[in-house]
Structure 1
């Protein structure tokens, strides 16, 4: 005999369990109605002997209805159908039934209704009472403010007691349901068999008709005996299992959560979460959430159509939320919206965050083979560009393919930077490295202050980002972050290593920085050359014009040092810096403070040294008081280093930090006429209304310098912001014209900078 409800499912208290409970309750209610009706009909036979035949037909009709109600059980349906037909023949011929026989039927069924059904109802009421108590305790626990510890403690204790009481009641209820289902067949069959056996003895005229059922009745007797034995054995087993489960500690506050990406029903994980509404009231509602088919969905009842929260998990990210007053909150952020959710405990919060992250990785893994080939990647990039308002189809495809080929061509970029898996499809844009799908998920979990992850096949890449990626590469970064790998006993993971090993390695490498080389001591030589990656790129690409030689400014003589070199030494170095850096001219930067090292290398456009300085804790917004409070970003502006500026911005440089003259990077780029940098800073949120000590904003400076391109960019950016402010909260990020103009300037600044040297005698309208 099959168990009606499982004990484990009742502890989970899922919508499926609630739905099954509702079905059982409806069945019992309907069964009670049918049995009550049958008992009354039997009583009517005893009280109205004169109308016995008519009442008997009604009774037979009741048997047929009971058979229909038990149609899910073919044996019971067949039994009741055959009995009702035979009884109908007998009742047509016989108008009287022995009262004692009918009493046996009435008494058995009436006892079942009054005792078993009533006991079932009592247990159900206790279950519903504990369920309501649990709902109230969950609500109070969720509403408890994190700052009031006594309220939190009271709510937690109340929740523990309510959950313990509920699970105890649920187990009792499931046991009663299973016992009731097992006993139901035995009691009904017993009543029917008693009736038919008595009928055979006392009705001579119906003997021939009933004798046809002898074999069938014999079979039913055997089955009934087996039912009784099975029912007793199963009752004993269920009581033992019930007692064993009840001995377990049911005061724990975590639900049974288990992430399974390969689940047969397609549901990777499910459970209850609180969801904050997006309306003005910001109300919280408890819903049953599940991860299925690469989507995050929820529903209130089991039969409800699931509501989709995230259409495609590949387009979202998940992170804890500490800004809300409620505890255990986390956010699922997608391009279209942000959904704030709350778990019942910290463990459940972390379990859901991990499950969503694993689902994101699984979703990308499913599409990996389709997007693995260079042709597929180029198509993805070109289609993304077109959807965002890009240029012609041919131009976008050529640029996308060329960009991906450039990034892959950099030394070491054809294997994952951290585990060595070939054909990486992801990149960290602030580190300048390529990653596999597993390592990219781990990098994403570190946070954007450590690593900003992008897809090489699904995201659109701006030209300055491509230029930055080509300046660094896996080999360069690994020489920095794995400089002491031979001295450490930790083994670097390989492609087939477990995810836990990879995560431990990546955290040790980028967060704890266990493998970087210590800064050079005083007196030791540290000759810095121009980026070898840029030399390689210059020789492998077909360009019409080479980058002009870098001539560091000779006035930077006040860099603070940890030890060693004097200002006169730096001036001496600066006097020799007018030589062509393409010929590997060297400059001694030994002993520099990390911030000063970043400052100096930004002016020299030496990306490995910049990355090394950041790895050693350099402040990306470090201020050189001796040079008008200039910053590394302003130094990169002074030599028109587009990729260096992008590198600093991606690593957290403040685009609006001004020097002692009140001039920020946008002011300096405007004064020097670096149109590409002006375009970059405006895209990164630079303030075009900021004024320097001479009370001049960038627009005024551009007009004074007669730079038509910069004036155009600044005025378009200002006009676009004003239009967005007029549109209010629903304003767009920029119209197509604005985006097209800035995209064109970005492409020219990265690929054809000579086109941005145009000047006009009168740019004023």
Structure 2
């Protein structure tokens, strides 16, 4: 530590000492003034820095908010996100610099002024007081008379005490001078070093963060240059087009309006018309009218839901109106109302009249291509024609119990209980597709319906789609899945005479704990999915031994389907389901996880693989986000797979789960014209009022597609629900005609599906 004032000079109290301390006092006073000013300036800088940081953060927040309206432009969106993120990092580092400056500079220097300088001043006051006392003692000692010994002694003692006190205070003062001199150096240097270290880290961190964007900034600069060139080129083209259009006559009277019944967007004609209100004031309003789906609709704004003026153009006529004072008027007359419209010119009036007439003709043409009315179709579906004695191979509803027992027990392995082997089982688990003895059925029932749904083969009624489902599976198929590792397990399978406790333990281990299924991951464990020769051109990926991705949603033309099979045909099909056919190719989906496997096998209607996927924990409502959030149930609908849909529904599939377009299974079945599936979903509680993203419910879709059978089913279901709600208080169960018609359609869909084929091409919805 550098000695500013010498202690020996302090004891001498020489003029040099007095000069030194005066210089020190002047320096400390100047230092105090400068430090106080610096502390105020530092505080102002910190306040300004915090305001700057806050405003900068607000600006960066504005950049992030700008991302939303620019979401359609990937380049701008990516630029805003990357730059705002880096600016946020830099601002956070700048905030740290401000906090460091607050602690290292402002607080350090402020403490030096308030504590060290104040202590120096206090010691200086004590020194000055003792110095004054010494001066007074020296003066009294000099003035003491020689003849008065007591005054001399008193003056001498006072001088001695004053000199001792002065020397003590002088030594303390010198020490404080030297201490504050050293403290001044260390505090100022430490404050400056801390501040500059924080600044260096801030700029290094900022440089590093921005350097990470060098490549992106170069790329963005190149893109910006290209954007400028493209914008200049587009501006030139637009100016040329603008100049060319200005030369034309674009008056409304000469506008060309063409009727196009086959327009891609389904709108045959559109344009502005005046419409007279039906109220007492008869006001006229200008609206945007269009002809679409054989309907005349209008809307005020683009996002408004269209208002239907004429629901079915086949039921109306159109004619010019000369009775009104306004010009260019025409009427669209339907049985329920008359709508008076006005065009802008005579040419537009004639164009709209011709468009409505052409739409009426087109609607009747589509109707003629549909040979059977809903009433004729429903009346032709008689119970007798669907009976077992006819050529259709159907099942007589009056003998459903006997037929169900006979047909289901004919499946491979079904003549013995699936779990204990007792012969002649007359119970079944409809979601597993197996037959059970009465003891095992009771154990299955105790598991809960989320594991097994038990039904009697002789006492309960059996819907045809359930029988068809049971024929697709069977004990042999299910045991290949749930007992795949039985040879590796020490637990013995129970036999018919085993105690109930043994059977219960076995069934819980088999279906609840799933101890015997093949564990995942496993390759080659699934039976290959068969593909018809029409799909061979899609098999090149298999030849390269690459895991197949999920395919686009298959259409009805590419999916294998089972139609028009009698129960005996179903038995034969099930018993030979694992034999390879020379005319078929195989699709190995063993690499897929259970949810995707269920999704794909539902599309291909491979029931053993569907059951295997569920056994391995597949979510029956698994959503494939890559294919419009489609589900296994929607995939089964695409292939018109009645039994596959029934299988998924029995295993907990949500009949109202919609895809990304807002369309549930009922929507898809209606669009594709799968009448049997519409019947099935309505029986299983599908919401016929649900609307898709186009705000269309199944009834509207069926009307658009002119599918009379589906319209009939939907309206009967709605009327039956209303009847049940109205008569429910009196214990009524609804209209029996509803049950008869639905039963007829169910039998037809299961046994004679060719009778439910669409009469015309599927329209676009």
TM-score of the aligned structures, taking structure 1 as reference length: 0.43
Tell me which structure has the larger Cα radius of gyration.
Answer: 2
Structure possessing the higher relative contact order (Cα contacts under 8 Å, 6 or more residues apart): 2
